Amino acid sequence: MPHVFINYRREDSAGYAGRLYDRLSVHFGAESVFMDIDTIEPGIDFVEVIETAISQCDILLVLIGKQWVRMTDTLGRRRLDNPEDFVLLEVKAGLERNIRVIPVLVGGATMPNSQELPAVLINLARRNAFEISDARWHTDVGRLIEVTEKIVASQQIQEKSSQIVQEPPVPEPQRHATSEEILPQEKPLKAIEGPRERRHICGERILLNQLAAHTEAHTRGYIASEVGVLTEGLKADEPTLRCDMCQSRVVFSKFALHMAVHKAEQHGTNRPA
């Protein structure tokens, strides 16, 4: 339900304020309508109660009668020029809090212009006024209730929209490059055929077609008695290793041969016997 605050000056529009309060209380409930006569308990600071009530209300209705602008105090000073005037403080608080402030013209009053208002209330002159005539009282108040309900409904929609938390977009799963994409692909070394011999780094002279197996045996930490057996069963899909000398990827079974060529070149033993 909306919370409505009725602002009025007793000498100017007390009768209208009372009638409007009764009608709004029946429609919205007495707890939703604030007017100082009935709702402020004795001994309570009036200014604190007013400020708290205005901060909690959705709509401030400013009742303006024919004498609203010209009302004076016992010393002949205009009420609106008194910075401690309760009517001025209520309207000022509503304008500062940017709540919906509606001037309600009663008793045939007209909307005051900015030149007739104190500086702190100039913005009130730019608010569109709502007129309640004596002849159409019930009809006009009914229209005011409809306007109030529309205003509150619009405010609630805006509040819900502002409370919607936009979820951050779900990041796409990172794709990790495969070793084939990172490392250059090298063609497997072709098998070396022929009866030529080469001297291995260990000093032995070995047939070229057995040199790979012999070096592989060294790499694994043993010397095979039958090095020819290790050359059997070579497959292209065997695991590959990266040569730490030229950074090429080489099939593991042929890795030893690849390394042997490098090492033989370093020691000058790559010449055929």
Domain ranges of the chain: 4-156, 179-267
Please give the residue that has the higher pLDDT: either 152 or 12: 12
Strands 205-207 and 197-199, how do they pair? antiparallel
How much of the chain exceeds pLDDT 70, in percent? 59
Rounded to whole angstroms, what are the CA distances from 29 to 1, 4, 91, 120, 137?
Answer: 8, 10, 23, 32, 20
- Tell me how far apart the alpha carbons of residues 55 and 96 are, in angstroms, rounded to a whole number: 10
pLDDT tens across 143-195, in order? Answer: 999 999 999 888 778 777 766 655 566 777 776 656 555 555 555 545 444 45
Neighbouring C-beta atoms of residue 185, cutoff 10 Å = 10
pLDDT tens across 114-152, in order? Answer: 999 999 999 999 999 999 999 999 999 999 999 999 998
Strands 4-7 and 59-64, how do they pair? parallel
Helix axes 137-163, 10-28, angle to 10 degrees: 60
Strands 130-132 and 100-106, how do they pair? parallel
CATH fold of 4-156 reads Rossmann fold (3.40.50)
Beta bridge partners of 61: 6, 102
